[in-house]
Amino acid sequence: MTTTERLATAPRADRQPSFLAKAFGITAVLSAAGSGLGLLRDLLLARYFGADKGTDAFLVSWTVPETAAPLLIEDAMAFLMVPAFSLALVLREERPDGPDPVRQLTGATLPWLIAALCGLSGATMLWAPQLVHVLAPGLASPRLAVTCTRFTAVTIVPFGLAGYFAAALRAHHRFSAPAAIYVAYNVGILAVLAVCHSLLGVRSAALGVAFGSLLMAGVLVGPFARMLHRGRAGHRGKDGGGRPLLLSPLALLPVAAFTLTRQSQVFIERYLGSALPPGTISHLNYAAKVSQLAMTTAILICTVTFPLVARALAAGDLTAARDRVEKDLGHAAAVVLAGMAFLFACAPAVVDLLFQRGAFGFADTAATAQVIRVYSFGLLAQALIGVMVRPFFSMRPAVRRADDPRDDGGGGRLFDWFPVAAMVLGLAVTTLVGLACAARFGALGVAGGNAAGITTTAVLLLRGLALRGIALRTRRVLIGQARLILAAAGATAAGLAACDAVGTGLPAVLAGGAAVLAAYLVLGALLGARELTGPANRVRALLRLNRGPEGAGPAPRLQEGTLRDGR
């Protein structure tokens, strides 16, 4: 019996598609709102402060929340605590007359987490001068960067609490509040920027980051407290006593190490950029923010399908896991390459439309657009890494039952560190290319090192999946990627021609975007890219099935996994 068949026979399986669709819809809408507010935040930064030594100083301080967010909210905390709370809920159902495992888990972990976060935040404030010197030794305004760093160090505590609360709520299938945290975060930043920018200068941005992080945690405090209260009210046992489950904190180490090494690309960029003319770090930052917008949909695809991969791996169905990963690689590539073609073709028009106002001048637009074009060469690798890293970390349990006799050690655990090793090698490439090219090409050399390093990591992870036991059909995957890349290359040429014919501003963005999309779809169909032709074929087939023969009414819906004859 395959994983799909087991799911089909599970209780309440008919509700799973609608539940996943609802969760995806809520997450997508609120994530898009958070991304939109984040873009507005960057627009205000550019409008108020432009790209100079002051914004460089702030962006060095922003390294703290940029590092804390993936570590404490997204990757490491989620991989550790979502399985922990999920198992606690299972134990609560199995032992309704015993101590509440959810409250036990919270009591055992939350105080230690708060103490660790407070210590880390205090240490960052205390050692802010040394941290700034390490991150950007050639910075033109180091004292300003130290002040901003002490403001942004506040974010460590609320970020950690937000990640913990969000993990608990998601384990209870409550997605609205966790999906809204970045909306609250950016609203806080925007509010402080709008009120204080003329009085405090770029320091207002750092203060806004701290205030936004407090709002982020505040959004989740109420839902988390209500979750605990309702669980206690519905649980007949007394709290305290017993050891229903055991955490394995060491399982956090590979995830944390990978997150930090991946974030180290930003450290390297800012280190190299600090030795270049003032404004270079700002140009790199604005370009990165625009480029990452092309990743939003691809990341959502990975987020929604990750439970399917984890479920298949937990069931030992490596074939189903392989098929799902191959599909995700194709779908993520199809989305990201469309964004890459658009950004490369329309980068000057996009930056002109978004940023060129106030203190952000024509020279800043030209520099940022050039960096975007170089960054775009690494977007595909970024998306593929997001798909491939999940199978590695979903196979190591971070929590187990107290009565489970299995030893959670073993030589196979060494493969958990493969993504870290791949990322370290990628960072080495980033550093070498950046050092070799920064002096001659400036920000473009730094961006080129980023693209080369992340591509190296993606190639290594593609090989590493086979070592992990997920033997991808590499030839099939690479052929599919090649078809999409060729379609994207043709779409880029069409977009460049359209933008050159129209000029700049909104008309150029619309004309270039339409040309890129049309050429991408047509060329993809001609080249036989299933990721582009498949959805259109399914829509046409669905329309024919719903219409059915004339006068016969809608055709009956087939159950997933069956053929037309019912087999």
What is the model's pLDDT at position 35?
Answer: 79
Which residues, 6 or more positions from 340, have their beta carbon under 8 angstroms from its beta carbon? 294, 376, 377, 379, 380, 488, 492
> What is residue 556's predicted lDDT score, i.e. its pLDDT?
40
- Could you report the per-residue pLDDT of 114-135, keeping only the tens digit for each? 999 999 999 999 999 999 988 8
Q: Are strands 399-401 and 245-247 parallel, antiparallel or unpaired?
A: antiparallel
User: Is the CB of residue 341 less than 8 Å from the CB of residue 492?
Assistant: yes
432 three-state secondary structure: helix
pLDDT score of 449: 92
Dist CA 186 CA 167 (whole Å):
21
What's residue 401's pLDDT?
62
Q: How far apart are CA 366 and CA 374, in angstroms?
A: 13
List, in order, residues 6 or more apart from 67 with CB less than 8 Å away.
Answer: 260, 263, 266
In angstroms, the CA 24 to CA 165 distance is 19
Res 327: pLDDT: 85
Per-residue pLDDT at 264: 84
Tokens found for residue 493? 């040429």
- Structure tokens of 160? 């950690």
Answering whether pTM is above 0.75, one says no
CB under 8 Å to 298, separation ≥6 — which residues? 331, 332, 335, 336, 383, 386
Which amino acid is present at 199? L
CA–CA dist 326, 472 (Å, integer) = 7
Q: Which two tokens stand for residue 448?
A: 């080129």
pLDDT at 18: 52
Mean pLDDT in consecutive groups of 10 residues from the start of the chain, 567 residues: 39 46 67 82 85 85 87 77 75 73 84 93 94 85 92 95 89 80 93 91 93 94 86 54 61 81 84 83 84 76 66 68 84 90 91 82 88 91 86 66 54 74 93 90 90 92 78 85 93 93 86 92 88 67 55 40 37
Residue that has been written with the tokens 């990201």 in this structure: 336
pLDDT at res. 151: 95
Contacts of 445 (CB under 8 A, 6+ apart): 433, 434, 436, 437, 438, 439
Q: Please tell me the predicted confidence (pLDDT) of residue 564.
A: 37
Structure tokens belonging to residue 536: 């259109």
Q: What letter does residue 15 receive in the DSSP assignment?
A: G
Q: Determine the Cα–Cα distance for residues 83 and 88; give it in Å rounded to an integer.
A: 8
- The pLDDT score that the predictor gives to residue 538 is 58
Partners of 260 in beta bridges: none
